[in-house]
Structure 1
């Protein structure tokens, strides 16, 4: 793609309701604090300012960075990368932020061009301006993911998950010393904990973080399946006197399990304020599960002084099920493109042009194996919403609004020639669900109303006419194990005419 989605001085501020006060004892022990989808969240504090990031999957810009001074109100500051680092291909997971001596580090997981997930590292002196990639720091068999860095008694260490794709070995959280500059491993690796076959872990552990209290190191980690319809993620803890162990798991595991508001909690980071401990982690909201993906939620962590182990008070009655939402609009009346738009790294490439209050989206490298085409999307904040777009040109390319999970799992409403088409792609198979003839229609408004992230009612409007309803569809093809559904605009080349562009205006998403 020749056009870069650049940072602009537009911060998206989100305020948690008053009953989410994290500085006072409250009945609410589990609440969302950053809107939208943000799996595997990481959080650090530097000079009184908090920074958080999380998984971006196959979407760019890569790894959003949020900032806050009170842990309640968060702004989107920027991203770690605008474009994918040269060695990577996809699957940008679990960015772990770290700060030392004036330098910010991001230890991140990505799939390399050989198809194997590895851990890379990037650095910056100014976190608002993005990071410079320093390349791969950990390659380990068939997979190395979920880095976490902790300095103990002046020595920096890094831990990571290993053997998740090797059935002959137990899943293990390994550790190693880090070089002083944080860019390479030092010495031999060591084992911290291994997965067992209890109902809590089910032979899978990952997503660890480490804190220290009263002479013990505490590793908060997650067990069981993280994602998708069959997930059963839960949170546990182990402790040791030193990084190299031995580590012991508490008999009280798991510490956090799913409830009727938030399902499959886990993979986060503990942050210590002046007098309190908090855990930022992800979970699925049960409304619309699992289509929307995992959100960043927050819980206070307490300590049982009699036994020296942490615990949480998360249960049905202390969980706030409400999501944070913010309406979005875009009239495409200025460049660069607004910060909330996302490009899918595995979809076909495109060019963007913003002129005369409209967006022109051109598919530049059509792929015959991609029946969806090029997509430009946003992350929906809730399972009930309405979004619309105006299509401004008539040609043979298919162009319109889209619901997108992967190129093989999508559906949309678009204009192709003088036809309005409702279409669906399930497991790579394209199916036309409805069509309406349009004669000299000019501009056409397209709308989708979503209920529980599954039922989708479509309608359209031609200038000076009333809205007309089309078929309703079930978005049963939009579930994907690792990430949630996105919505936005789409363009697909017509092979006969060669048409590749669509023109759009008046985008909105309302909750």
Structure 2
């Protein structure tokens, strides 16, 4: 049994909070919310269709963040997918999470869950807001001892503009009270482009300020931006700032927005997401923090970032020897394709596809979130059977690419728009152990290798006639970034459906914008391994 179990995710998180627009949590963490409780800060982000649902991080200084728990280890029974915008709130000694999820009838609603101890997960209380075709992006604010909830409405209603609505909440925060009212209405012929969402409310100098996001949030065509409106009370009237938008894309970060602002002892801070420019839009949206200031007319702005003070993307390496008694918290699964069993025995991961879904051409995947666009992944596969098993780069179960071993055959494969294609293969003789690795650049180009001794590596291209890298442009997905990990696919003839992995490594290259030479990097040695 191996004796190391190492994860360097947080060792590189050491940044100066006085500088604006800093990546504070590595990897995918969209729609972040933040709350301060007794001197500690807690942040939570969207899971999209990935479980466990809604990761929670903790910090005492807004600079150093450590993973704490998940809101839900298993998705609430009333939900099927689209786990978005978890808004943390603390009230009367209890944590609340107001979250978005798609109900089994396909309609997105806002649910609520509570806990006394955030480290132990939340208890779901069910649907709180059901509003027409869609209710998403909750935010809760307390005004004059009354709780109010706000949300986005009419995003899927034809012929009606999108609005941010509000309603009073019951004293326990678990039900609506009174009639809903309109706060903001989206404008088509402005920077908002007909879309507003991701709002939060703060108070400063007698005004309530609503920071909100407009335009398209996600994917390669996004143009997300942040604006602000203000009012004296929650019921308005609300005035949009003529200087909007406050925050836009730049050379480093694309489509910023959907965050939460809070006041610290010395300043105002805004935690939000953006796409890293290197790897855009294949990498997921990650968490940034910017400092806010107030102009002479009482409107907020974000401090500019001089080029010489800009900092890059936080890198998080993962090396898992499977020496713990359960899966490490960085492992994620596609909730819609969750038909597998994973267990750790004597330093090995046993992954079994329990129920074959013929529409899922990828198989069962257990994945992690890459934090930068250039990285390599590797694993050691033990045992031989007819199940295809190995490494996967995963967009959705209908769009993926990977390298696997099946009995005595190495196979490079791709799934594009639900169609499986075997791209190349190589034959090995009587190997009880096979090492696999993939070198990824730009979050979509990759070269695959295999070895039987972990010393001599043989490249396997995506084309039988040349050695060109595999290009996986089809992995881009509007709602989340690529995942990297392990997979197993049931053999339809023998029924073999299990895989045994001895280790897994994800190691980043020195620069997220680098274009490494595969010949120099083939030894799987990162340039700046912590």
Equivalence for 2:370: 380
Whole-Å separation in 1 of the counterparts to 2:446 and 2:169:
50
The residue number in structure 2 matching 1:21 is 16
| Residues 334-366 of structure 1 deviation map (CA, whole Å, 9 limit, x = unaligned) | 311111111210124111222122111110011
Residues 1:74 and 2:74 aligned together: no
Question: 2:483 — aligned with what?
Answer: 486
1:191 corresponds to: 182
* Residue 62 of structure 1: aligned partner: 53
Distance 1:266 1:319, change over 3 A: farther
Contact 2:6 2:318 (C-alpha < 8 Å) held by counterparts: no
Aligned to 2:326: 336
Give 1:167 deviation, angstroms: 2.1
Within the candidate set 128, 150, 153, 1:162 is matched to 153
Deviates more, 1:389-398 or 1:339-348: 339-348
Task: State the partner residue of 1:4.
Answer: none
1:390 aligns with 2:380: yes
Cα distance change on mapping 1:267 and 1:464 into 2, 3 Å: closer
Q: CA deviation at 1:456?
A: 0.5
Shift of 1:507: 0.8
Query: How many pairs were matched up?
Result: 497
Alignment-derived partner of residue 226 in structure 1: 217
Q: Is the 8 A contact 2:333 2:367 kept in 1?
A: yes
Kindly tell me: are residues 338 and 39 of structure 1, through their superposed partners in 2, closer, same or farther at Cα, counting changes over 3 Å?
Answer: same
On the 8 A contact 1:348/1:367 being kept in 2, the answer is no
- For 1:446 and 1:76, the matched residues in 2 are separated by 29
Q: Which runs of 5+ in 2 are unaligned?
A: 462-468, 509-530
Determine the structure 1 residue equivalent to 2:345.
Answer: 355
Output the TM-score relative to the length of structure 1: 0.95
Aligned to 1:5: none
Aligned partner of 1:48 in structure 2 is: 39
Tell me how far apart the structure 1 counterparts of residues 454 and 226 of structure 2 sit (CA, whole Å). Answer: 56
Tell me, in whole angstroms, the C-alpha distance in 2 between the residues paired with 1:204 and 1:326: 33
Point out 4+ residue stretches in structure 1 off by more than 2 angstroms: 8-17, 313-321
What is the RMSD of the two structures over their aligned residues, measured on CA atoms?
Answer: 1.6
Distance (whole Å) between structure 2 residues aligned to residue 371 and residue 16 of structure 1: 38
Which of the numbers 235, 244, 257 marks the counterpart of 2:226? Answer: 235
Is 1:435 the counterpart of 2:432? The answer is: no
Match of 1:109 in 2: 100
Q: What SS class does the counterpart of residue 474 from structure 2 fall into?
A: coil
Match of 2:522 in 1: none
Q: Is the 8 A contact 1:259 1:315 kept in 2?
A: no
Pair 1:320-2:310 in alignment: yes
- 1:39 equivalenced with 2:12 (yes/no): no
Q: 2:515 maps to which residue?
A: none
Cα distance in 2 for partners of 1:483, 1:465 equals 35
Give the conservation status (yes or no) of the 8 Å contact 2:8–2:318: no
* Deviation of the 1:393 alpha carbon: 1.8
Q: Secondary structure at the match of 1:128?
A: helix
Q: Does the aligned pair in 1 maintain the 2:293–2:300 contact within 8 Å?
A: yes
- 1:195-220 CA-partner distances (Å, limit 9, x unpaired): 00234100000000000111110000
Matches of 1:315 and 1:14, distance apart in 2: 24
1:195-206 aligned at under 5 Å gives the runs: 195-206=186-197
**Structure 1 residue matching 2:307: 3-state secondary structure:** helix
TM-score normalized with structure 2 length? 0.92
- Helix, strand or coil for the counterpart of 2:119? helix
Contact 1:15 1:73 in 2 (8 A): no
Does 2:279 correspond to 1:282?
A: no
SS of the equivalent of 1:196 reads coil
Q: Which runs of 5+ in 1 are unaligned?
A: 1-7
